Amino acid sequence: MDTFFIILNVLVLLALLGVLVWMQKKHISFTKRVFAGLGFGLVYGAILQYAYGSGSEVITKSVDWFNIAGNGYVRLLQMVVIPLIMVSIFSAIMNLKGRQNLGKISVSIIAVLLITTAIAASVSIVTSLSFDLKAIEIQSGEKEQAQGLKMEERLGTVQDMTIPQQVLEFIPSNPFEDMTGVRRTSTLAVVIFSAFIGVAVLGLDRKKPEQAQTFRKLIDAVYAVVMRIVALVLRLTPYGILALITKVVATTNPDEILKLIKFVLASYVALLVMFVIHLILLALFGYNPVTYVKKVLPTLVFAFTSRSSAATIPLNVETQTKKLGVSDGIANLSATLGATIGQNGCAGIYPAMLAVMIAPTVGIDPTSWDFILTLILVVTVSSFGVAGVGGGATFASLIVLSTMNLPVALAGLLISVEPLIDMGRTALNVNDSITAGLISGKVLKENDHDVFNDRGLDLDATARS
């Protein structure tokens, strides 16, 4: 009998995907189709959970089929991330006027990312204290205890590394190995390797201009091909979001959320406050927040459902360049660096909130200025090299908690609501990288306000090109 219901559930999802196909054929805008996929997924996921229960075998096996559309889409985006990063940075640097411009762009983007991370940590501390969050009040079951032990095991690999050793992790020794994403710092290592190649071509312009021009033509051709692949994959966004959000809603246990409702609420209050701060910063630099929100929503929705800053890089770059008027160089650098440095959600809000919750269990007053200032500094510095994929927040919290001499096992108490919170954290991470791109473009006078103010732009135009 279970097989019948599994087949039925899959057929319903296929029918909903068919509706999205019909909407595309009717030339309904990309944004509307993205939100239609989100809405369909929320409703269908809730129906599945009500009908079968989040932990039922029918749900588990149905979701296994849903993953072909959902996780398959995320994998396709991950497939193009490294090639896109490499050719984009090659192209961006080779078209700069000189090394000084590259330095200005990089410093500006990293400065915005780190400053906003420090602000995010401050917001998280205030929110945690306001909600009076305490780890000692959270009950632990077998699943939470197992997660705590797992985090303690992972701590060994972090604790044994000094700060200089962690810095060395950013430098690629085998860039081809890093292209496979074997390390948590692989993406940043690929960025550094690509930047070296771009700078080398700038130097080749003076000594061997013919070879430099030949390489430029090759990269331009490869860049065109990669961007075409990106455009083809982006067409699948509404379908991927439908499957991803259906899975999240259908498999989330409401009882577990209710047990930790105060932590979930505090997390989303901090995330929303930080999002508003991003909008205020953009307004201070002359950008209309309302126009901005309308244009980035599809990208943030995908980041929310996929829970991967790295997988969102292609859509992030596309949104910045085609909708917001950010130059190619700044857009590629901000999207890439923002997926590995200064993640406001995963490396800012989450570790700071855990530290405030756990501090009282070892007799530390989380309201003392020594603790607060040290925590903000540690969170900001440790935000370098946090992987923009699932588990990045866990790694960031390990670094912060161990540096602050706090027990890391207690962080395992939140495993049951981790996916729900991670969606909001990822969306904030991506929003911060876009904010860094816009602010840097404004500061360096490389942004196109005409593109930003054109409300009619749509990613479909790029996908059809």
Between 311 and 325, where is the model more confident? Answer: 325
Q: How confident is the model at residue 100 (pLDDT cuts 50, 70, 90)?
A: very low
Q: Which two structure tokens, joined as six digits, stand for 332?
A: 């590629």
Please give the C-alpha separations between residue 148 and each of 259, 408, 409, in angstroms, as whole numbers. Answer: 18, 7, 4
Q: How many domains does the chain have?
A: 1
Dihedral sign for Cα 402, 160, 389, 106, please: positive
pLDDT at 126: 95
Q: In the prediction, which pLDDT does 276 show?
A: 97
**How far from chain centre, in Å, is Cα 249?**
20
Mean pLDDT of the chain: 82
Tell me: the pLDDT tens digits for 261-285? Answer: 888 899 999 999 999 999 999 999 9
Tens digits of residue pLDDT in 174-226:
888 888 777 767 777 888 888 888 888 888 888 888 888 888 888 888 888 88
- Structure token digits, residue 231: 């455009």
Average pLDDT over residues 277-297: 94
CATH code of the domain in which 459 resides: 1.10.3860.10
Phi, psi of 366 (to 5 degrees): -70, -5
Would you state the structure tokens that stand for residue 217, as one six-digit string?
Answer: 């033509």
Residue ranges making up the domain that contains 18? 2-464
pLDDT at 257 over 90: no
- With a pLDDT cut of 70, the percent of the chain lying above it is 84
DSSP state of 341: B
The model carries a pTM of 0.78
Q: What is the pLDDT of residue 156?
A: 52
